[in-house]
A and B are shown apart, each in its own frame.
Chain A
């Protein structure tokens, strides 16, 4: 369905039961549970399936590389593929995306190369891609701060009469931050074309949702700001994509912002340095594994005859190629120039930095000369 701009009532609370279009067994649903949304076309679902499978292969590969010490850290999105990919696939390359640190697979779906995505986690530089080229901001580590950037950019685009939409992702923990509140409020007051995705993966590091909010759903928060909120099954990519597509369409034609909560689960630890056995039960993890977003869509696609063995083989091959490229990208010795530390602080050169750069240059030359002398002995 397409959300109606004129008649949308932002006072309506989201459904307490998350919207779904496919049940856990991959059966298409009808009636109240779907909230009036329709299942995306089969070709779209097949493409979303392909992206989820490839992204998971990437995520598994990066987690393995992190265990091998090739990356300093990696926040996995295993199990959150439906949220990440279902929603980021709803915007066009002309739209802008403002990710957080857990959104590597959304960046992959956005067309970024593994080396670009992982540069900061490998520790080479804070950010590895050209924001303007990809219309994708740097990953934000402070929580919810990037949501305000998304609102500001959306407002600037509107002032320029460019029909673009901005999309930003937040976690459940980020909704407690002041910047999340300010971003929701500014977006609603200014009616910016912004879509907020709250990925409720149940834990902010170790803090469970119940200690994060007393709201019935995080989607409820939209109502308080005067924008629609949708409470969606975050492991149902059909529902995530349908709701996000409608929100993006509505934003594009001047209908203002939308808050979408995807209810999902973080299967892996917060990062490789986390110990989730201290704060959650393995039976909960197993419960959520049975609700796997990829398996659910796969069952549906098979039942519809859309997923053949040939396609499956082709997707597997694509995933393996990507995994190989990711390994290669992380195996290359990074070319780092310490003197570049001073190059991107100010647009206008500063005397103090020129002096400090020269000092480091001398230091490096002295070390190099000493190393040569030692080698010559």
Chain B
């Protein structure tokens, strides 16, 4: 088969780095996965002609047809529950929960069936499905549109829970999640949907179960994921002016937790803080601090800190700036340690 000049030009254009948002990268990941594997189907509320409220599924129905991409009734337990049956029959459904707090009606299906099916059936039934949950705040959303539900999912055995923080990981990790034979809760930080990067697709970054050091430093390890990786990087840049060298780790995967990468960073710096938007009490940061302490206590120069949202329901949009962990709040927290900078 010969390739025409126009096609070659199109291919060259496709492989050249172009600016892409995280939403665009996710869209491309879905499209590429669907093109490669006809078992992949996409459904949820408003994912068809509208292309999703964040346009992550934009154009997919037009390209792949209504048997591959369709609008479901408005019912999250129904979306996840039917996906269980579809995955049992050999499809690879990718379903959308539209907004974080809208996933709660599906809690029972996710926790009692999606997470447990493999175990209940002694490994005889795999559920290769992806539950996409746009998550977290800082987009001026009204109530129930800005929750961070990751601790619920991460504390459930049987689930894999990941959260990319940038367009390249968004593409690569979503492709890997769709390929996974284990069910994946794929959390997408809404405030990063419009962040851009120059990408040549397809891009493959680190395996989705590995954390990544995204900035090297020697004095402190800041651990973030999803939206707070940006917060950590901004804090690190500001701290540099004060002579503090901060290493930033992007967790990427919440379950499993990459003890190796994060532990190595902590042993290098001897100080760590974890940042997340969710409330502190019983939050994901508690797990991070506890397991890092268990394994690295004698390398620690200071207690592991948590810089998080308050222990309150997510606030109204006009007050969310006071709730969200900011770079300043991170720096203030670090200042609370006793530093021996002699």
A182, B77: Cα distance in complex, Å: 7
Quick check: is A344 within 8 A (CB to CB) of the other chain?
Answer: yes
Chain A residues contacting B86 (CB-CB under 8 Å) are 152-153, 155-156
Quick check: is B108 within 8 A (CB to CB) of the other chain?
Answer: yes
Contact (A186, B75) CB under 8 Å given A145-B113, A156-B89: yes
A19, B87: Cα distance in complex, Å: 37
A348, B126: Cα distance in complex, Å: 11
A152, B118: Cα distance in complex, Å: 17
Chain B residues contacting A127 (CB-CB under 8 Å) are 120-122
Chain B residues contacting A345 (CB-CB under 8 Å) are 118-119, 157-158
Name the distance in Å between A341's Cβ and chain B's nearest Cβ. 9
* Chain A positions 129-164 with a Cβ under 8 Å from a chain B Cβ: 130-132, 137-138, 140, 142, 145, 147-157, 159-160
* Chain B positions 254-268 with a Cβ under 8 Å from a chain A Cβ: 256-257, 259
A238, B112: Cα distance in complex, Å: 37
Name the distance in Å between A373's Cβ and chain B's nearest Cβ. 32
Residue of B nearest to A187 (CB): B82
Contact (A156, B85) CB under 8 Å given A127-B121, A138-B120: yes
Quick check: is B282 within 8 A (CB to CB) of the other chain?
Answer: no
Number of interface residues of B (CB under 8 A): 45
Residue of B nearest to A125 (CB): B122
* Chain B positions 29-79 with a Cβ under 8 Å from a chain A Cβ: 41, 67, 72-73, 75, 77-78
Quick check: is A60 within 8 A (CB to CB) of the other chain?
Answer: no
* Chain B positions 70-102 with a Cβ under 8 Å from a chain A Cβ: 72-73, 75, 77-78, 80-91, 93
Quick check: is B182 within 8 A (CB to CB) of the other chain?
Answer: yes
Residue of A nearest to B83 (CB): A152
Quick check: is A91 within 8 A (CB to CB) of the other chain?
Answer: no
A350, B260: Cα distance in complex, Å: 13
- One digit per residue, 1 when the CB lies within 8 angstroms of any chain B CB and 0 when it does not, for chain A 349-367 equals 0111000000000000000
Residue of A nearest to B75 (CB): A182
- Contact yes or no, A178 B105, CB < 8 A: yes
- Contact yes or no, B125 A131, CB < 8 A: yes
Name the distance in Å between A282's Cβ and chain B's nearest Cβ. 37
Quick check: is A80 within 8 A (CB to CB) of the other chain?
Answer: no
A346, B256: Cα distance in complex, Å: 11
> How many residue pairs bridge A and B at CB < 8 Å?
131
Name the distance in Å between A19's Cβ and chain B's nearest Cβ. 29
A152, B77: Cα distance in complex, Å: 12
Quick check: is B123 within 8 A (CB to CB) of the other chain?
Answer: yes
Chain B residues contacting A189 (CB-CB under 8 Å) are 73
Residue of A nearest to B157 (CB): A345
Chain B residues contacting A185 (CB-CB under 8 Å) are 73, 75, 78
- Contact yes or no, B124 A132, CB < 8 A: yes
- Contact yes or no, A148 B82, CB < 8 A: yes
- Contact yes or no, B108 A179, CB < 8 A: yes
- One digit per residue, 1 when the CB lies within 8 angstroms of any chain B CB and 0 when it does not, for chain A 174-187 equals 00001100110110
A127, B125: Cα distance in complex, Å: 11
A240, B72: Cα distance in complex, Å: 32
* Chain A positions 182-207 with a Cβ under 8 Å from a chain B Cβ: 182-183, 185-186, 189
- Contact yes or no, A186 B78, CB < 8 A: yes
Quick check: is B181 within 8 A (CB to CB) of the other chain?
Answer: yes
A144, B145: Cα distance in complex, Å: 28
Contact (A347, B85) CB under 8 Å given A126-B119, A142-B112, A185-B73: no
- Contact yes or no, B120 A351, CB < 8 A: no
Quick check: is B245 within 8 A (CB to CB) of the other chain?
Answer: no
- Contact yes or no, A149 B85, CB < 8 A: yes
Chain B residues contacting A352 (CB-CB under 8 Å) are 256-257
Name the distance in Å between A37's Cβ and chain B's nearest Cβ. 29
Quick check: is B148 within 8 A (CB to CB) of the other chain?
Answer: no
Chain B residues contacting A351 (CB-CB under 8 Å) are 256, 259
- Contact yes or no, A131 B88, CB < 8 A: yes
Name the distance in Å between A271's Cβ and chain B's nearest Cβ. 19
Quick check: is A328 within 8 A (CB to CB) of the other chain?
Answer: no
Residue of B nearest to A157 (CB): B89
Quick check: is A343 within 8 A (CB to CB) of the other chain?
Answer: yes
Residue of B nearest to A119 (CB): B122
- Contact yes or no, B120 A126, CB < 8 A: yes
A125, A148, A151, A343: the one contacting B109 at CB < 8 Å is: A148
Name the distance in Å between A183's Cβ and chain B's nearest Cβ. 7
B67, B108, B180, B182: the one contacting A159 at CB < 8 Å is: B67
A145, B157: Cα distance in complex, Å: 19
- Contact yes or no, A152 B122, CB < 8 A: no
- Contact yes or no, B123 A155, CB < 8 A: no
- Contact yes or no, A348 B121, CB < 8 A: no
- Contact yes or no, A131 B72, CB < 8 A: no
A160, B67: Cα distance in complex, Å: 10
- Contact yes or no, A131 B124, CB < 8 A: yes
A179, B77: Cα distance in complex, Å: 7
- Contact yes or no, A186 B73, CB < 8 A: yes
- Contact yes or no, B181 A348, CB < 8 A: yes
A138, B123: Cα distance in complex, Å: 12
Name the distance in Å between A256's Cβ and chain B's nearest Cβ. 15
Residue of B nearest to A126 (CB): B120
A351, B207: Cα distance in complex, Å: 15
- Contact yes or no, B82 A155, CB < 8 A: yes
Residue of A nearest to B260 (CB): A351
- Contact yes or no, B91 A159, CB < 8 A: yes
Residue of A nearest to B89 (CB): A156
Residue of A nearest to B125 (CB): A131
Name the distance in Å between B142's Cβ and chain A's nearest Cβ. 24
| New contact pairs (7) apart from A138-B120, A179-B108, A352-B256, CB-CB < 8 Å | A149-B81, A149-B88, A178-B105, A183-B81, A186-B73, A345-B158, A346-B118
The 6 closest A-B pairs by CB, nearest first: A152-B85, A148-B81, A152-B82, A153-B85, A182-B78, A156-B89
28 contacts between A and B (CB under 8 A): A132-B124, A145-B109, A145-B113, A147-B81, A148-B77, A148-B84, A151-B82, A152-B81, A152-B82, A152-B83, A152-B85, A156-B88, A156-B89, A159-B41, A178-B105, A179-B109, A182-B81, A186-B78, A343-B123, A344-B119, A344-B123, A346-B118, A346-B158, A347-B182, A348-B181, A348-B182, A351-B256, A352-B256
B residues in contact (CB < 8 Å) with A: 41, 67, 72-73, 75, 77-78, 80-91, 93, 105, 108-109, 112-113, 116-126, 157-158, 160, 180-182, 256-257, 259
